[in-house]
Structure 1
């Protein structure tokens, strides 16, 4: 073999080794996304388990608020389904987007339930309701921290998959950008609530 052939083979081997390293790095980052979503999933399951208990405690006091209770139960069911899809595909932007929408609906219905509960002093004073409310608040905080960790992993993956020259390997091997898990879908809902007396 000639020197040119050896140089060409060495360059081809270096490019192949680089492509393998990029591929392995992207797989590792995608697995980190799945792990980070697993942490969110644990907290979501905890939240989903708390919601029926909260509804059951409130049901006795809020007999004429059936629509509010049904909305919470329906939103919980939708969120559980969306979480199952996201669990199956944690790096899928579509599955994560659907989960964010379902979680937003659940959060809104829980907020309405808690607002209605404020109108009932007996319910507000109920020890079980207070304990469940505290657990739900704690769980919401944990979900927020887990969401941040997930979004950090998604950012690292998307950065690695969209920077040249790794972008070439990512596109050739089908690594699509992953979706961030947002707490709300529009900026209007992110605004601070207005309080008036």
Structure 2
């Protein structure tokens, strides 16, 4: 066997193993995103259930609090619908971005709602909701960490070729909005 053939075969074997390793790494990172997104969806499902509970008490609230609650409910319905669309598409940037925008509108409504609650007796009713928002924020951070690691892995030139070849598309990160707490 000639030296040139040995070099070509060695290069081919190294390239094959490197390609396989890059592919497996991208698959693992993509699965981590899906797993982190599933955790976020679980927290959002819990919030959806909690909001349904708050709706039942809504009729008894004073008018300013009731109005703020109605705004939160409308924003929540929109955020939940966006979540339902994005849930099976955690790796598709468009639906995740739409969900993120809806979550932003809900976050603004929540800030106003918490301001309206202030020191009222209704603040105890929504304390679990406020705590849940903190867990949702943590789930968003976990998703963003996974999405950032995946995005960073797609950047280097040899891996970018593999990513394009096997259709590993970039994903969207979520804008983190720090929830304010009513105390």
CA RMSD of aligned residues (A): 2.4
Is the contact between residue 58 and residue 66 of structure 2 (CA under 8 Å) also seen in structure 1? no
Is the contact between residue 58 and residue 117 of structure 1 (CA under 8 Å) also seen in structure 2? no
Is the contact between residue 64 and residue 116 of structure 2 (CA under 8 Å) also seen in structure 1? no
Is the contact between residue 97 and residue 172 of structure 2 (CA under 8 Å) also seen in structure 1? yes
CA distance in structure 1 between the partners assigned to 2:42 and 2:8 by the alignment? 51
Aligned to 1:195: none
Is the contact between residue 92 and residue 178 of structure 1 (CA under 8 Å) also seen in structure 2? yes
Q: Determine if the alignment matches structure 1 residue 158 to structure 2 residue 154.
A: no
- Offset from partner CA, 1:1-54 (integer Å, 9 cap, x none): 644234312312221221111011101000001111111111111111111222
TM-score by length of structure 1 reads 0.79
Aligned to 1:105: 105
* Displacement after TM superposition at 1:74 (Å): 2.2
Superposition pairs of residues 44-59 of structure 1, within 5 angstroms: 44-59=44-59
Picking from 116, 131, 138, the partner of 1:138 is 131
Q: Determine if the alignment matches structure 1 residue 174 to structure 2 residue 167.
A: yes
Aligned length: 179
Q: Which moved more, 1:35-44 or 1:91-100?
A: 91-100
Aligned to 1:81: 81
Gaps of 5+ in 2: none
Q: Determine if the alignment matches structure 1 residue 93 to structure 2 residue 86.
A: no
